[in-house]
Structure 1
Amino acid sequence: MPISIFGFQALWSPFYLGILVLITLFYFLITTKWRGKFKDSVPLKQREALLFVSGMALLYIIKGSPVDLLGHITFTMHMVQMAFLLLLAPPLLIMGIPTWLWRWFIDLPVIRPLFMFFTKPMLALILFGLFFSVYHLPLVFDFVKQDMMLHAVVSSLLFIFAMFYWWPVVNNLEGMHKFHGLKKLGFLFGLSVLMTPACALIIFSSSPFYATYTDADAWLQAMALCVPVGTLSQLNLSGPELFTSMSLIEDQRTGGITMKILQELVFTVFIWLVFYEWLRNENDNADEITAKVLQDRKEMAYHRHNG
């Protein structure tokens, strides 16, 4: 059965698109026309603009296009959403917003102490990994997916925690929590480890355990998150099997495997970028590093001789 039966609003989320377009418009006004109102501002770089627009476009594809509707129909597409929403959109947006604009935002009253606390690397890592895992517990997942307001709050918190997690990896502000060189690799690997139990539980389960994909009433309640109730009431739907050839357990396992694969792909790209940055810095500062090593050896030899 084609998903077009759900109508234009469910497929393309025009209101959500309007909000994203408005945010993007304000972004360009602030970083160009109104830039002079901000301390230490510099002209917007083409790279920053491309990253920000890419992040906003990705947010629309994930949460506003038919991908969002499919995410309520099949668990596999839900996990695709999660992968791109939590692992790719946050670093794109962080890098796309100029450092001087980040500085202005963080220096706002109340924001700075909260921001500095929640972006502590180990805390950010544990909170994000824990929140992701708890969210995908069947009892929690089904409860959240059947309440529009709760789903919006939890989804927003997941995204915010993802921003906090990515902050030490990609931010360029002085005085902020951030990793340099190979320490970033360990941080990225840490999240991979924390996400593995949830993915393993989903992949190796012997039976499907999400009611919002297996129970007709719960599924219809979850579908109301993105489909107008009036439209749903006119359709005689029994469950997601009308739109996919996969069995429920195949869909669940495929979702877990897809999440793990996409996570590893995103992390592989960032790990390569981190390693390349580290290697370039080593090469650029080779003479300085060599001189420091020689000096250290001289000092060690001197202490041994005079010890």
Structure 2
Amino acid sequence: MPLSIFGFRALWSPWFFLSLVAVVLLYFLITVMWRHRFEGSTPLTKNQIIFFLSSMTLLYIVKGSPVDLLGHILFSVHMGQMVVLLLIVAPFLIMGIPNWLWRKAFEIKIIDRIFRLFTNSVVSLMTFTIAFSAYHYPMILDFVKLSLPLHALFTTTIFLSAIFLWWPLVNTLEGQPRLHGLKKIGYIILSAILVTPACALIIFVDVPVYETYSSGEAWLQAMALCVPAGTLSGLAGLGISGPEMFTNMTTVSDQKLGGILMKVGQELIYIVVIGKIFFTWASDERANADEITKQDLIKNHNMTTHG
């Protein structure tokens, strides 16, 4: 069956779209129109604009477009959403907000204390691993998907844990927790290892473990998170019994594909990040080596001249 049967509101989430538009407008008002009101502010860079707008666009695609509706039908699409939301949107958002604006946010003591605690490299790794693994534990995910407030709370929590995870890697703010050089690579590798058990459980289990993606009754209740109640009641007479009405994949195949997408997506993104870190580190080392050599030559020249 086509997704269009769920209606425009379920497919395109107009209120969510308008909310993101408001966030983008507020961003440019603060960083451009009202920037002179903030001491120490600097003009936006091209990269900051690109990263911020990219984060908002991707956020709408995964949580507001038909992809979000499909993510309630297919577990594999849900895991694809997680890859984009946690491993792309989160770092893009951090890099899209200028340092002076972050600095203003950290003037609020509670925000500063929370970030200093949860962006410690050990704490951030454990927080993200626990949040991700717990969220995808079958009993918890099924329970959360039956409640809109709980679903919003858990999604926000896991997204914040992703912000904390990426903060030591991509933030450039003086005085904030940051990793350098090879420590970044070790941090990323450890993050990949810690998430592996949760993905492996999903990939290698041979029975459906999520009722909200297999049981018709539980699935219909979960669909209420993104489909208006009036639309759902109107669809009841069409004989829609579960996600199998929208895919040729078996529930177990969809489940396995979801685990594979999460793990492969994570590995590919991490490989790109590690590559960038390595080349940046190597470039800095070469630059420092040249500077040291230059200073030594000047020193030797002076000694020879004065000798």
> How would you bin the TM-score normalised by the shorter chain?
over 0.9
Output the amino acid matched with 1:51. F
Alpha-carbon distance in structure 1 between the residues aligned to 2:267 and 2:136: 19
Alpha-carbon distance in structure 2 between the residues aligned to 1:114 and 1:137: 26
Match of 1:239 among 219, 238, 242: 242
**Deviation of residue 288 (structure 1)?**
4.4
Paired-residue identity, %: 53
Output the amino acid matched with 1:281. D
RMSD (CA atoms):
1.3
1:272 aligns with 2:275: yes
1:159-238 map, 5 Å: 159-236=159-236, 237-238=240-241
Match of 2:261 among 254, 258, 262: 258
- TM-score normalised to the size of structure 2? 0.93
Identify the range of structure 1 (109-118 vs 187-196) with the bigger mean alpha-carbon deviation.
Answer: 109-118
Q: Deviations over 1:139-187 (max 9, x none)?
A: 1110011111000000000001110110000000000001111111111
Alpha-carbon distance in structure 1 between the residues aligned to 2:206 and 2:50: 44
Structure 1 residues 248 and 45 mapped into 2: Cα distance closer, same or farther (>3 Å)? same
Q: Deviations over 1:103-132 (max 9, x none)?
A: 101111322112211111110110101110
Q: Deviations over 1:242-261 (max 9, x none)?
A: 00000010000011001111
Alpha-carbon distance in structure 1 between the residues aligned to 2:271 and 2:254: 25
**Deviation of residue 87 (structure 1)?**
0.6
1:137 aligns with 2:141: no
Alpha-carbon distance in structure 1 between the residues aligned to 2:111 and 2:82: 27
Match of 1:282 in 2: 285
Match of 1:155 in 2: 155
- TM-score normalised to the size of structure 1? 0.93
**Deviation of residue 269 (structure 1)?**
1.1
Alpha-carbon distance in structure 1 between the residues aligned to 2:211 and 2:292: 58
Specify the SS of the correspondent of 1:175. Answer: coil
Match of 1:41 in 2: 41
Match of 1:249 in 2: 252
Output the amino acid matched with 1:148. L
The gaps in structure 2 that reach 5 residues or longer are 297-307
Alpha-carbon distance in structure 1 between the residues aligned to 2:71 and 2:258: 10
**Deviation of residue 292 (structure 1)?**
10
Structure 1 residues 280 and 5 mapped into 2: Cα distance closer, same or farther (>3 Å)? same
The gaps in structure 1 that reach 5 residues or longer are 294-307
1:90 aligns with 2:93: no
Q: Deviations over 1:62-90 (max 9, x none)?
A: 10000000000000000000111111101
Specify the SS of the correspondent of 2:48. Answer: helix
**Deviation of residue 287 (structure 1)?**
3.0
Alpha-carbon distance in structure 2 between the residues aligned to 1:248 and 1:142: 15
